[in-house]
Chains A and B, each alone.
Chain A
Amino acid sequence: MHTRNHPLLSARRICRSFGQNQVLFDIDLELVPGEVHALLGENGAGKSTLVRILAGYLSPSEGEIRLEGELRRYRSSGDAEADGVVMIHQELALAEQLTVEENVFLGREIRRGPFLDHRAMRERCRTALAELETRVDPRARVKDLSTSDQQMVEIAKAITRDVRVLIMDEPTAALTEHEVEVLFALIARLRERGVAILYISHKLREIERIADRVTVLRDGRLIDSAPMAGRSKEELARLMVGREISDMYPERTELASDAEVVLEARDIVVPGAVKQASFTLRRGEVLGFGGVVGAGRTALIEAVLGLRARSGGEVLRNGQPVALRHLRDAVRQRIAYLTEDRKGKGLVLNMGLRPNLTLLNLRAYCRPLIDRRREEQAFKEAVERFDIRLRTQAATAAELSGGNQQKLLLAKVMSIDPEIVVINEPTRGIDVGTKHQIYHFVRELTEAGRSVILVSSEMAELIGLSHRVAVMCAGVLTGVLEGEQINEQEIMQYASGIKGVGADEQRRA
C-alpha cells in the first residue's frame, strides 16, 4: 500500500485576480514528496497562473503557501528557488548568447575566490546532461541548439539545483519521442529520490503513464483532485471540459448540400511544424481548427496563405491550383487573414487609426496619390459597421481598448471584401460583449455566402460556430469532425492524439 506522506508544499485557498478579472478561485493543492502530481485543464483554466504563484513568479491575491507547514511568502522566483522550489518553463527562458554551462549556473556561478570556477561548473553540467542522456556540449551556445535540446538544458538547470519541488509546465511540447522517454525515466528517478513533482500537460496519455495524482482545473476553479489509479483518460477529458455552451453563439447558417469547395489544401508540409495536412473549405462554411497551442494550426494556415515557407503540398482555389507565395497573392484571391497577434502582427500601434484601416488595401484609396478624403470616408463607414467605440479622439491604435483594436483589425481585414476569411484566435483577451459581436459577425459572413476558417483554442467557440472541426495534434491533422462528433470530449481526444490519424503511432511510441 502507498502511504501518503506529509505534504511538502501546500497551497491553501489561493485566489488571484488581474485587475477586475479573477482567474483563480480558492484553489487548494498539496504536493507530496515522491509523488507525481498532474495538473490538468483547458487553455485559460488557470494552470499556468497557479504554478507561477507556487514558484514565486506571481503573488496570490489571497491564500497562503506553506513549505513543510511553514508559511512562505515568495517575492520572486529566486526566493522560491532558495527553498528548492524550481519551475521549468513552458516558454524557454535561457540567455541565447551564453553557453549551456553558463546558462545552467546563471546567477549562482561556482567561484573560487573572485574568479569563476569553470572546471567545477563544466563537470557538474556534464553530469547533469549525462543523466538526461543528451549529447549537448556544455560549451555550445544556447542559440545554436535545437528547441528540444534547449528544453533539456532547461531541465538540466533545474536538476543541478537542490530541487525538492519540481514544477514542469508542458515540458514535452518541444521534445522528440526519445527525449520524452528519457525525461520520464528521469522523473521516475527524481520520484525515488523523494522530489515532489507537479506536472502540467495537455497530453492525457502522458498523464496516464506517470501521474500518481491528478488535479483538474476549469475556469479557475478546482474541479477534482484524486489519485490517478483506476481513472480513464476519457473520464479526465470529461472533467476538464463538461461545461454548458450558453446562447453566446448564433445559430449556424444552413449549409447547402451542394456547396462548392472554394479552398482546398493538399498535403501541406511545413518543416518542423506540419506533417502532410489536407483540408477543404466550402462556400458558406465555418471550418474550425482545434488543438492545443503549438499543435501546428497557425503554421498550417500561414503556410497555405504564403506567410510561411512550406516544403510540400498545393493549394487550390475554386478547384484551380494557385501559387500563394506572399500574403499579397492570397489577398488577390480574396482571402483575408486575421492574425492572432493583434499587437505584434495586426496593427501598427503608433500609427493613426485611418492609416491602420487602409494599410491592407491602400491601393483602393490611391489615384495615384493617397486620397485622404476617401480614407476618412472609409473610416467613418468602418466605425459604423464594426461598432468601433472611439474614446475621445484616439490618435493612435495603441490608445484603443483591446476589443476596439480587434474591431479595427477586423475592419482592416474586411477592407479587401474577401470571400474567405481566416480568423485566428478571434476572441483572445477581449471582453464578453465584444466576443458576442464577433460571433454574430462570423454568422453574417457565412450568411452572405462567404467562408470562414476559425482557428481557436476555445473549445466552446469551435463547437458553437463551426460546421466542421479539423483537429491537430503535434503537427498532424488527426481528423475532421462533423455533426454529432463535434463535442468537447471528442475534440479533446483528437487533440491529445488518443483518436484519429497518427494515434496508432503515438500509442506504439
Chain B
Amino acid sequence: MNNAVPDNKSLTQSRVSVDLKTWGPFIALLALAMLGVLINPAFLGLDNLSNMLTRSAFIGIIAIGATFVITAGGLDLSVGSMAAFIAGVMIILMNSLVEQFGPGLTTILLGIGASLLLGLCAGFINGMVTTKGKIEAFIVTLGTMGIYRSLVTYLADGGTLSLDWGVRDIYRPVYYGHLMGIPIPVLVFLMVAVAGYILLNHTRFGRYCFAIGSNEKVAEYSAIHVDRIKTMTYMLQGVCVALATIIYVPRLGSASGATGVLWELEAIAAVIIGGTVLKGGHGRIWGTVVGAIMLTMIGNILNLTDAISNYLNGTVQGIIIIVAVYLQRASWRKSAP
C-alpha cells in the first residue's frame, strides 16, 4: 500500500506534462484566435473563418504528408516546386485534351489522375534516391526542388500557363464550391487529416514511421523493411502535394515559375509548430493541422489590423515558429527524469 503513493504522484505529474505537450499547439491557436478577435471582431465572421481555412488547406494538406516524411527521419524540400510542376503539367494536359474530349468532366478527371500519378512518381524518385543511393534527404530533395522549379519555368517558357476557359468554368467549384456549407478545400483538408491521423496512429505503417525515425538500426533489427517504408513516406508526400495542386489549379487557373514558392518551408514550419520532432521519431497530425491554420491566421490577423504592417507577416511567422519550438523543447527537458 505504501508504495502506491509515489506511484500516483508521478503518474499525475507525467500526465500533466504530456497534456501540455499534446495540447500546446491548440492552446497557442486559441490564444492567437483570441488576439484576432480583440484586434478586429470581424475576425470571427463566418466568411473570414471559412476563407482562412480554405487558404490554409494547401499548406495543410502538404504538411500532413510532410509529417510522415519527417516522423520517419526524412525531409522533403521539393514539395513547393513539385506542386508548381504538377500544376503546369496538369494545365498543359487538360488544355490539349479539350480538343478531343471537350471541356468536360473527362478532361478534368484525366487531369486529376495525371496529377496523382505524377505526385506518386515524384515521391517515389525522392524516396528511392534517398534510400538506395544512401544520400541525405536534404540534398536529394534540394536537387529535385531545383529540377521541378526549372521544369515548370521551361514548360511555361518563362511566362504563365493558363487553363482553357471552358475547363476553368467546370473545374471552378473544386476551389470555390461548398458542400453542406463547408468549402470543398476545407473538406478535403479534413478528410486528408483524418486519414493521416488513422494512418499514423493506428496502422503498422505509422508505427514503423515512428520506429524508423527514432532509431533506424532498431527498426532494421525488428525486421522492418526500412527503405520500403521510407520510400512510401515520400510517395505519400507526393500524393498530398498532388491533392493540394488539384485544389489549387482552379483557384487561379494558371501556373508559372512563381507558383508554390516557399511552400516547402511553410509546410515544414506547420509540422514543427504542431509538435513533430524535426529529427524524427515523433509525429502529430492534429498538431500539423493546427500549425498550418496558425500560419494562415497570422497573415489574416495582420490583414485585419493596421498596427503592424502586412509586410511584417514573415517576421511574425518566424518569431512564432521559434517560440513554439523553444516551448516544446523546454517542456521536453522538464519532463525528462
Contact = CB atoms under 8 A, between A and B. Distances in A.
A370 B198 CA distance: 10
B11 A392 contact: yes
A360 B223 contact: yes
Interface string A363-380: 100101110000000000
Interface in A327-384: 327-328, 330-331, 337, 339, 341, 344-351, 355, 359-360, 362-363, 366, 368-370
A464 B225 CA distance: 37
B133 interface: no
A399 interface: yes
A143 interface: no
Interface string A407-432: 00000100000000000000000000
Nearest to A348: B214
A351 B221 contact: no
Nearest to B211: A348
A415 B334 CA distance: 34
Contacts of B132: none
Nearest to A358: B207
A360 B222 contact: yes
Contacts of B218: 344-348, 359
A58 interface: no
Contact of A368 (B14, B203, B215, B220): B203
Nearest to B212: A348
Nearest to B202: A369
B333 interface: no
B148 to A, nearest CB: 32
A393 interface: yes
A328 B217 contact: no
B223 A331 contact: yes
Contacts of B203: 366, 368-370
B10 interface: yes
Contacts of A345: 217-218, 220-221
B281 interface: yes
A307 interface: yes
A193 interface: no
Contacts of B10: 392-393
Contacts of B211: 348, 351, 355, 359
B181 interface: no
A328 B207 CA distance: 16
B221 A369 contact: no
B214 A327 contact: no
Contacts of A348: 210-211, 214-215, 218-219, 281
A395 to B, nearest CB: 6
Given A355-B207, A362-B207, A370-B203, A349 B215 contact: yes
A294 to B, nearest CB: 19
B225 A328 contact: yes
Contacts of B7: 392-393
B223 A351 contact: no
B204 interface: yes
A393 B207 contact: no
A410 to B, nearest CB: 14
Nearest to B210: A351
Contacts of A370: 202-204, 207
Contact of B223 (A326, A347, A355): A326
A349 B281 CA distance: 10
A326 B210 contact: no
A390 B96 CA distance: 66
B6 A307 contact: no
A252 B321 CA distance: 62
Interface residues of A, number: 31
B16 to A, nearest CB: 13
A184 B3 CA distance: 62
A80 B10 CA distance: 46
Interface in A91-136: none
A359 B222 contact: yes
Contacts of A362: 204, 207-208
B217 to A, nearest CB: 5
A76 B281 CA distance: 36
Given A351-B210, A355-B207, A368-B203, A346 B221 contact: yes
Contacts of B224: 328, 359
Contacts of A330: 223
Contacts of A412: 222
Among A328, A351, A355, A399, the most chain B Cβ lie within 10 Å of the Cβ of: A351
B221 A395 contact: no
B198 A369 contact: yes
B204 A326 contact: no
Interface in B92-137: none
A346 B207 CA distance: 16
B337 A399 contact: yes
Nearest to A329: B223
B223 A328 contact: yes
Contacts of A360: 222-223
Contact of B6 (A328, A351, A392, A399): A392
Nearest to A341: B217
Interface string B4-33: 001100110010000000000000000000
Interface in B268-285: 281-282
Given A363-B204, A370-B202, A392-B7, A351 B217 contact: no
Contact of B11 (A327, A331, A346, A393): A393
A368 B207 CA distance: 13
A327 B223 CA distance: 5
Interface in B207-262: 207-208, 210-211, 214-215, 217-225
Nearest to A338: B221
Contacts of B215: 344, 348-349
A350 B198 CA distance: 21
Contacts of B207: 355, 359, 362, 370
Contacts of A363: 204
A362 B219 CA distance: 12
A348 B214 CA distance: 7
B337 to A, nearest CB: 7
B217 A344 contact: yes
A343 to B, nearest CB: 9
A366 B225 contact: no
Nearest to B11: A393
Contacts of B223: 326-328, 330-331, 360
Given A351-B211, A370-B202, A307 B14 contact: no
B204 A351 contact: no
A395 B337 CA distance: 11
B21 to A, nearest CB: 12
Contacts of A393: 7, 10-11, 14
Interface in B175-198: 198
Contacts of B11: 392-393
Interface string A390-403: 00110100010000
Contacts of A326: 223, 225
A307 B202 contact: no
Nearest to A332: B223
Contacts of B220: 307, 327, 345
B222 A350 contact: no
17 contacts: A327-B220, A344-B215, A344-B218, A345-B220, A346-B221, A348-B219, A348-B281, A351-B211, A355-B207, A355-B211, A359-B219, A359-B222, A369-B203, A370-B203, A392-B6, A393-B10, A399-B337
The 7 nearest A-B residue pairs measured at CB: A327-B223, A328-B223, A369-B202, A345-B221, A359-B222, A348-B214, A331-B223
Given A348-B215, A355-B210, A399-B337, 4 more contacts: A344-B218, A355-B211, A359-B218, A369-B202
